């Protein structure tokens, strides 16, 4: 099952997995899901099912969780659906912040719980949580985004420890992409070059290939691209007082840029 399969990284997972798995594709836009499902059915001899659900709605998440609990051969859950917001925490609407926490955190909790209760007794299967490089920083203007993606990393680490401790063959991966071409920044209506220049952007193909390579070796953290691996490893080594001072200065610079 792949959440957020109607575009970007999720749709790319679907295209790369369709040869090996029957797929359940989840998102809100039925037309997009149907289009991808038709394309994959025509290309592969695979059963592709579409499920329209708003995963920021707990009742719809619960229905999906029940669905995957009953799957006899559940092989993989990709918790990928996500979105960003703009503006300082208190300037963005509370509804958008709540929706993000529901989607990134509660949907991941609920679906992962159902998937692992299914996979662990069979001693097979894998979870990929699509977090972000943003989970390593406290980005001004993306407080809830960074916090929820950071939570995804810690949550995945906890599961990894539990599963490894019991010698389970079920694996967990936290995929941490940096800037990736998808609809994500179109939804935010931001200028890609202004956000991150040219050299930091990756294709969804590159990101998903790195994830699937990591899946084969049971790698917990997959951070596609050497620049992002270097960045996250440097950030992780900074004392938190220094890291926070740098991030606060960045925040001040951004405000001054906007005011100029």
Which residues here bind ligand NAP, judged by CB under 6 A?
3-10, 27-29, 32, 54-56, 80-83, 103, 130, 132, 177, 179-180, 182-184, 187
- Rounded Cα distance between 106 and 3, Å, is 13
Q: How far is the CB of 91 from ligand NAP (least distance, A)?
A: 20
Cα 140 from chain centre: 20
- Nearest-10 crossing angle of helices 107-122, 143-165: 10
Please, which residue, 82 or 125, has the CB nearer to ligand NAP?
Answer: 82
Please, which residue, 27 or 159, has the CB nearer to ligand NAP?
Answer: 27
Q: How far is the CB of 213 from ligand NAP (least distance, A)?
A: 18
Helix (H) or strand (E) holding 39: helix 30-43
Q: How far is the CB of 183 from ligand NAP (least distance, A)?
A: 3
Neighbours of 191 (CB within 10 A): 8
Please, which residue, 26 or 163, has the CB nearer to ligand NAP?
Answer: 26
- Rounded Cα distance between 145 and 8, Å, is 18
Q: How far is the CB of 259 from ligand NAP (least distance, A)?
A: 27
Please, which residue, 80 or 168, has the CB nearer to ligand NAP?
Answer: 80
213's tokens: 């390579």
């Amino acid at each position: 099952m792949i959440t957020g399969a109607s575009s970007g990284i999720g749709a790319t997972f679907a295209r790369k997995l369709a040869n090996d798995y029957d797929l359940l594709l989840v998102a809100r836009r039925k037309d997009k899901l149907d289009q991808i499902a038709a394309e994959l059915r025509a290309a592969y001899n695979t059963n592709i099912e579409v499920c329209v659900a708003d995963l920021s709605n707990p009742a719809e998440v619960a229905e999906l969780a029940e669905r995957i609990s009953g799957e006899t051969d559940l092989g993989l859950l990709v918790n990928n659906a996500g979105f960003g917001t703009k503006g300082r925490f208190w300037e963005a609407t509370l509804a958008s912040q709540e929706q993000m926490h529901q989607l990134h955190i509660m949907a991941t909790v609920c679906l992962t719980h159902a998937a692992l209760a299914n996979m662990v007794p069979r001693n097979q299967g894998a979870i990929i949580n699509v977090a972000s490089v943003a989970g390593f920083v406290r980005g001004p203007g993306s407080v809830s985004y960074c916090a929820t993606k950071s939570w995804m990393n810690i949550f995945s680490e906890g599961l990894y420890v539990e599963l490894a401790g019991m010698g389970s063959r079920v694996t967990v991966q936290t995929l941490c992409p940096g800037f990736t071409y998808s609809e994500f920044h179109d939804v935010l209506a931001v200028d890609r070059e202004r956000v991150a220049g040219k050299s930091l952007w990756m294709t969804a193909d590159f990101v998903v290939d790195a994830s699937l390579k990591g899946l084969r070796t049971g790698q917990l953290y997959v951070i596609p691209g050497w620049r992002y691996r270097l960045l996250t490893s440097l950030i992780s080594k900074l004392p938190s007082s220094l890291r926070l001072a740098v991030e606060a200065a960045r925040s001040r610079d951004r405000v001054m840029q906007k005011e100029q």
